[in-house]
Amino acid sequence: MGLPVTSGRVRMLKPLLAAGFRGLSAAARRERPRGLVYERHGEPAQVLSLKDIHLAELGDFGVHVKMISAPVNPSDINMIQGTYAILPDLPAIGGNEGVGQVIETGSQVTSLKSGDLVILADSGLGTWRTEAVFGEETLLKIPQEIPLSCAATLSVNPCTAYRMLSDFGILKPGDSVIQNAANSGVGQAVIQIAAARGIKTINVVRDRPNLHQLVERLKSLGADHVITEETLRKPEIKELFKKIPQPKLALNGVGGKSATELLRHLCHKGTMVTYGGMSKQPVPVPVSALIFKNVKLCGFWITQWKRENARNKEQLRDMIGELCDLIRKGLLVAPACQEIPLVDYRAALEASMKPYVSAKQILLM
């Protein structure tokens, strides 16, 4: 708490690298590994506690990783609450993504070496901890020059945005996409990846006191249009849609009427992909949109995608490589982050569950 909100570009890996691998490893080994453990489902602040943890044996294929930082995502919260679609065996360690550095590798490990920066290729492995031994196949190496906040938040939201912009119909430069939850982690990644591809974005946000600031920030990321849900419902909005091609794709992270509004502006035969339901409301779909406008609705879940593509890790590597390229070119930045030491995890959890939170909480290990 009280730490400055960083832009996601400031804190680089250098201090860590400068410490040198051997020094780091020794330091890491001086402290006993600790993690945020929960033994039953419930409200995170109540059921999580910071405990000493036992590391798995390194074996031939294990990779000993010193975790550097890990974000608090809404799905992490839901998983601890027990309301998520997949739940780990208990007791479990919280957190599903994050960045770490390899300390030591098993004798048969070929794709990683000590010093490598890694993120996780799968979820459910528990990232809110100081150290872990992961299987080689669950890790992905990323370039050293990637800002840590980008690396820590790379494997869920930007990957979700990337796949939704890639896998649901062919979007050409000049085409447009409409999305709600435009200020969410996924929403901001959509804006930036779309802009890099020359795809126009119509970004719907909830009205709020500091709306003007938000509009400016999203535009600075590359958003073409930023409008409130209230404005989207007004008849005048038709003027906007005369100037730009009708969206072929709608991305829905909210559900409820907000999603129905996206459908209303989707082009004939367009697709709406749902990846979240922040309003906790079902999506009311007008029958006429399905029959006469021939729109399609489907869902996207990055966890499922990764599992289905686990055998062919190449597609995952290609995506991470492309996203890292965008990051290096300054075309993809992490959302504003609030970095909080692991011991202050209760403050991070509390902040992450407040409405209209723009800064992502990042636990520093």
Which one of 52-60, 64-72, 229-237, 294-302 is the stretch in contact with its own copies (CB under 8 A)? Answer: 294-302
| Among residues 46, 49, 108, 294, the one that binds its own copies under rule CB under 8 A | 294
What is the Cα–Cα distance from 103 to 44, expressed in whole angstroms?
30
Q: Which residue has the tokens 């609030």?
A: 338
Size of the site for its own copies (CB under 8 A): 29
275 classed as catalytic: no
Task: Work out the angle at residue 106's Cα, subtended by the Cα atoms of residues 100 and 110, and round it to the nearest 5 degrees.
Answer: 80
Does position 162 interact with its own copies (CB under 8 A)? The reply is no
Q: Which candidate, 288, 205, 202, 215, places its Cα nearest to that of 245? A: 202
Which one of 34-42, 60-68, 203-211, 295-303 is the stretch in contact with its own copies (CB under 8 A)? Answer: 295-303
**155 touches 120 (CB < 8 A):** yes
Does position 260 interact with its own copies (CB under 8 A)? The reply is yes
**Binding letters toward its own copies, positions 263-292, x by CB under 8 A:** -----------xxxx---xxxxxxxxxxxx
Question: What radius of gyration, in Å, describes the C-alpha atoms of the chain?
Answer: 21
Burial (Cβ within 10 Å: 0-12, 13-18, ≥19) of residue 88: middle
Residues 82-141 that bind its own copies (CB under 8 A): 85
Residue 328: other Cβ atoms inside 10 A: 14
Does position 297 interact with its own copies (CB under 8 A)? The reply is yes
**In 215-266, which ranges are E strands?**
225-228, 249-252
Closest distance of CB 256 from its own copies, Å: 9
What is the Cα–Cα distance from 99 to 344, expressed in whole angstroms?
19
Does position 300 interact with its own copies (CB under 8 A)? The reply is yes
Closest distance of CB 359 from its own copies, Å: 25
Closest distance of CB 292 from its own copies, Å: 4
Q: CB nearer to its own copies: give 135 or 277.
A: 277
**Binding letters toward its own copies, positions 47-86, x by CB under 8 A:** --------------------------------------x-
Sign for the pseudo-dihedral over CA of 152, 105, 16, 37: positive
Q: Which backbone phi and psi does 349 adopt, to 5 degrees?
A: -65, -45
Does position 210 interact with its own copies (CB under 8 A)? The reply is no
- Residue of 84, 162, 275, 345 marked active site: 84
Closest distance of CB 250 from its own copies, Å: 12
What is the Cα–Cα distance from 268 to 106, expressed in whole angstroms?
54
Q: Which amino acids are annotated catalytic?
A: 84
Q: Which residues of this protein are in contact with its own copies, per CB under 8 A?
A: 85, 255, 260, 274-277, 281-301, 304
